[in-house]
Amino acid sequence: MTQPNAAARHRERRARQHRDDLSRRAFLGVGFGVAASLSLAPSLLARQKQGSLTVVVGGLDTRTPEEPENTDVLMVARIDLDRPSVRAVLIPRDLLVEIPGVGFDKVNRAYDHGSKAADGDWEAGASLTVETVADNFKLDVDGIVLTNFQGFADVVDALGGIDLVNPYEVYDAEYPTPDYGYAEISFPAGEIHLDGEDALAFARTRHQDGDDGRVMRQQLVLLALLSKAQDPANLPRLPKIVRAAREAVRTDLDRDAQTRIIALAPDLDPDDVEFGTITEYLWGDTTDSGMWVYRGDWATLPGIVEEFLAG
């Protein structure tokens, strides 16, 4: 039997350490979702003293290692640890950006470019995702949190599902399934309860109302997750929630940053969680290769994002 080389053993040790640390990240797993590499910059401690962190958050569409792994849910969040509050800007997956060392491509492709270039190493994919967001939006990023879609569903189920108010009926006759087929899904208007798979479908579908509708539903799901995580009735579920988060989430935030984020969770008022989107500043276009993308004015987009994150 072929023995793993030293680099592979090192990667596996680091992966185990990350998984073990996830028991300290229940809130990260519930509220955000993502994985990462990027070594934390020396300025991180200085920014922590000022009471804020800027974090990239991504949800990976991962099926097999050989297939593309795209961050089909992507946002950048500013966490004020003193107030406390969270402001997050959702980044459309089809936004055309310059990926360092690669060239122009959709922003959701950065993770796959980085990972595949390093023999499937998630840390390389996470690092290139952070670098892409930081370079294009002119941001100082402190770290990244990643989850895959199945992990997201598992965390929702560990919480006992989520409850939210759906503003209007949602119907999709061709919702894509993991086996590359299609399913018919629908969600009525009004109060609804969602298990993990339903929450994932609710947050991903966009055939009826495009990216704006999907962004709105993702916001509803994240706020519902926060509400459920804060419910004292979920204390008996904590071991199950931690196990689900351990399998679902990867992050490069150090323990101090994780501890401070977890500590703010019980006192974080949903009214102090704000979401923004940049779709109103973008326009659809087709590249020379025939790929449909969003384009934006990069002379103004970074300032728009920073203004929102800064409140």
119 SS3 class: coil
Q: Which residues of 233-248 are buried (b: 16+ CB within 10 A; e: fewer)?
A: ebeeeeebbbbbbbeb
User: Model pTM greater than 0.85?
Assistant: no
3-state helix, strand, coil in the chain (%, to 5): 45, 25, 25
Q: How confident is the model at residue 228, as a pLDDT? A: 87
Give residue 24's pLDDT band: very low, low, confident or very high (50, 70, 90): very low
C-alpha distances (whole Å) from 66 to each of 61, 62, 63, 119, 180 are 13, 10, 8, 10, 15
For residue 176, list its beta bridge partners.
182
Query: Which residue type does 15 have?
Result: A
Q: What number does CATH give the domain 6-159+248-310?
A: 3.30.420.590
Tokens of 199: 């929450």
The conformation of residue 274, written as its DSSP 8-state character, comes to E
Q: In the chain, what's the furthest Cα-to-Cα distance?
A: 57
Tell me what the mean pLDDT of segment 30-54 comes to.
43
| Beta strand segments in 237-291, E | 249-251, 273-277, 282-286
| Main-chain phi, psi angles of 103, to 5 degrees | 120, -160
**Cβ–Cβ < 8 Å for 144, 36:** yes
Q: How confident is the model at residue 240, as a pLDDT? A: 78
Tokens of 212: 């704006």
**Cβ–Cβ < 8 Å for 53, 79:** yes
Tell me what the mean pLDDT of segment 223-228 comes to.
88
Give residue 152's pLDDT band: very low, low, confident or very high (50, 70, 90): confident
Q: Where are the domains of the chain?
A: 6-159+248-310
Tally Cβ neighbours within 10 Å of residue 131.
18
| Beta strand segments in the chain, E | 52-61, 70-80, 85-90, 96-99, 103-106, 143-148, 162-166, 170-176, 182-187, 190-194, 249-251, 273-277, 282-286, 292-296
The alpha carbon torsion through 299, 272, 34, 148 (nearest 10 deg) reads -110
Give residue 63's pLDDT band: very low, low, confident or very high (50, 70, 90): low
Cis, bond preceding 84 (omega within 30 deg of 0): yes
pLDDT digits (tens, 9 = 90+) for 74-130: 999 999 988 889 999 999 999 999 999 999 999 999 999 999 999 888 899 999 999
Tell me what the mean pLDDT of segment 53-66 comes to.
82
- Across the chain, mean pLDDT equals 81
